[in-house]
C-alpha cells in the first residue's frame, strides 16, 4: 500500500482526509466526463478543507491518493479492472490496473487510518436476489470497516428494502442526513424510512467517536439525499430502469458486470440526465464527507 505524501502528512498531523473510490470513475461514468468528474470530486473535498485520497491499484501497488496522471490512467485506460476486496491479491500480483469499489475502498481506507469516505450510491441487494443470490460485497465489507461512508443511499437499481434489512442484520448504522427518509440515489426518497436522522456534521462525528470508544468496527452510513429539484424525474427513472433490467436479463449480464451495465443503460437512456444527477450527488457527498472529516479531526 502506498500512501501519497500529501495524504500521509495530513494523517500524521491529524488533518481531515476523505477517501474516494475509483470504480465510479472507471466503470460508473462514461468517458470523457469521468476524468473531469474525478478532478471535480477531489476539488469539492479540497474546497471544504480536507485532503482527497482517491484509491486504486496501479503498477502492482494499492495507491491511497492519486496524482493527476494516476486519475487519468483510471479514467482513460481500457484495461482497468473492477476490484472488489477479493480481487486485490490477484490484481497486485499480476500488476493489473484496477479501480476499487465501495467494499475495497472502505477496507483500504480503514487500514490506512482514514475516517471518512465519499461515494455515489452503495451497492446492495439486487432485485431478484432471492434467485440469483446477487448481493453486493459492499454490505459485508461495511460490517468491518470503521469509516463514515457518505452516499446518496443505495443505488435505485437495487432492492432498497432488502438492502436496509441486510444492513440491519450486519449492524451497520444508517443515518439520514437532514431527513428521516432513505434517499434513492437518483431519487430523493426511496420510499423507505431510515432508522436515525442527523442534522449536522458535528453530530455524525460525535456518533462515530462514541462508536470508536466502544470499539465498534462497522462503517457508519450517512445517507445524503438530493434536493427534490435536483433529483431525476421519477417517471423517467422507472421507465429506464425497467428497460435496463430487462436488457440485463435478456443479455445474461451477471456478477460484477451487472451494476456497470445497468448504470450504462441509464446514461444512454436518459439523454444525459442520469449523468447530471450522478455527478451532482457525488459532489455533494464529497463536500459533506469533507465537513464530517473536519468535525472528526477537530
Ligand atoms: N456509486 C456510483 N457509481 C458506481 C458505484 C457506486 O454512483 O459505479 C460502484 C461502487 O464502486 C460500488 C459498486 O461499490 O458500484 C457496486 O458494484 P456491485 O453491485 O457489483 O457490488
Ligand atoms: Mn453482484
The per-residue pLDDT for range 62-71, each reduced to its tens digit, is 999 999 999 9
Q: Does any ligand 1 atom lie closer than 6 A to the CB of residue 137?
A: yes
pTM, entire model: 0.97
Q: Which of 73, 155, 228, 249 is catalytic?
A: 155
**pLDDT, average across residues 5-32:** 97
Q: Does any ligand 1 atom lie closer than 6 A to the CB of residue 248?
A: no
For 125, which DSSP code?
B
Show contacts of 171-175: CB within 8 Å, 24+ apart: 171/143, 171/216, 171/218, 172/139, 172/142, 172/143, 172/218, 172/219, 172/220, 172/221, 173/207, 173/211, 173/218, 173/220, 173/221, 174/221, 174/223, 175/204, 175/207, 175/220, 175/221, 175/222, 175/223
Looking at all shown ligands, the one closest to residue 257's CA atom is 1
Q: What is the pLDDT of residue 64?
A: 98
Strands 51-58 and 187-193: unpaired
The rounded distance, in Å, linking the Cα atoms of 209 and 211 is 5
Q: Does any ligand 1 atom lie closer than 6 A to the CB of residue 27?
A: yes
69 C-beta neighbours (distance < 10 Å), count: 8
What's the sign of the alpha-carbon dihedral 80, 81, 82, 86? negative
**pLDDT, average across residues 24-49:** 97
How far away, in angstroms, is 198 Cα from ligand 2 center? 30
* Among 5, 13, 107, 2, residue whose Cα is nearest residue 64: 2
Q: Does any ligand 1 atom lie closer than 6 A to the CB of residue 136?
A: yes
Per residue in 140-171, pLDDT tens? 999 999 999 999 999 989 999 999 999 999 99
Q: What is the pLDDT of residue 222?
A: 98
Q: Which three cell numbers stand for residue 224?
A: 445524503
Of ligand 1's atoms, which has the minimum distance to the CA of residue 21? 11
Q: Hey, what's the torsion of the CAs at 271, 228, 124, 157, to 10 degrees?
A: -30
Per residue in 210-257, pLDDT tens? 999 999 999 999 999 999 999 999 999 999 999 999 999 999 999 999
Q: What is the pLDDT of residue 298?
A: 78
Q: Which three cell numbers stand for residue 160?
A: 432498497
Q: Is 168 a catalytic residue?
A: no
Owner of C-alpha cell 481531515: 16
Q: Which three cell numbers stand for residue 54?
A: 482517491
How far away, in angstroms, is 62 Cα from ligand 1 center? 19
Amino acid at each position: 500500500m502506498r500512501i501519497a505524501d500529501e495524504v500521509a502528512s495530513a494523517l500524521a498531523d491529524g488533518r481531515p482526509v476523505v477517501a474516494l473510490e475509483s470504480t465510479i470513475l472507471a466503470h460508473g461514468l462514461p468517458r470523457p466526463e469521468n476524468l473531469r468528474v474525478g478532478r471535480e470530486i477531489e476539488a469539492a473535498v479540497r474546497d471544504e478543507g480536507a485532503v482527497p485520497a482517491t484509491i486504486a491499484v496501479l503498477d502492482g501497488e494499492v495507491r491511497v491518493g492519486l496524482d493527476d496522471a494516476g486519475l487519468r490512467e483510471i479514467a482513460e485506460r481500457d484495461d482497468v479492472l473492477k476490484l472488489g476486496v477479493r480481487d486485490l491479491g490477484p490484481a497486485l500480483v499480476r500488476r493489473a490496473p484496477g479501480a476499487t469499489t465501495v467494499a475495497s475502498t472502505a477496507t483500504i481506507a480503514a487500514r490506512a487510518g482514514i475516517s471518512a469516505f465519499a461515494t455515489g450510491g452503495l451497492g446492495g441487494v439486487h432485485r431478484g436476489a432471492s434467485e440469483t443470490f446477487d448481493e453486493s460485497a459492499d454490505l459485508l465489507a461495511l460490517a468491518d470497516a470503521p469509516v463514515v461512508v457518505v452516499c446518496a443511499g443505495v443505488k435505485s437499481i437495487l432492492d432498497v428494502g432488502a438492502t436496509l434489512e441486510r444492513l440491519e442484520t450486519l449492524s451497520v448504522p444508517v443515518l439520514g442526513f437532514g431527513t428521516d427518509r432513505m434517499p434513492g440515489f437518483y431519487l430523493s426518497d426511496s420510499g423507505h424510512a431510515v432508522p436515525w436522522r442527523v442534522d449536522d456534521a458535528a453530530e455524525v462525528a460525535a456518533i462515530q467517536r462514541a462508536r470508536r470508544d466502544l470499539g465498534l468496527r462497522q462503517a457508519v452510513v450517512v445517507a445524503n439525499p438530493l434536493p427534490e429539484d435536483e433529483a431525476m424525474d421519477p417517471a423517467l427513472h422507472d421507465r429506464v430502469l425497467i428497460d435496463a433490467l430487462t436488457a440485463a436479463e435478456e443479455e445474461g449480464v451477471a456478477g460484477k458486470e451487472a451494476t456497470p451495465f445497468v448504470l450504462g443503460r441509464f446514461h444512454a437512456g436518459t439523454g444525459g440526465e442520469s449523468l447530471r444527477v450522478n455527478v451532482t450527488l457525488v459532489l455533494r457527498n464529497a463536500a459533506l464527507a469533507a465537513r464530517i472529516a473536519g468535525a472528526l479531526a477537530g
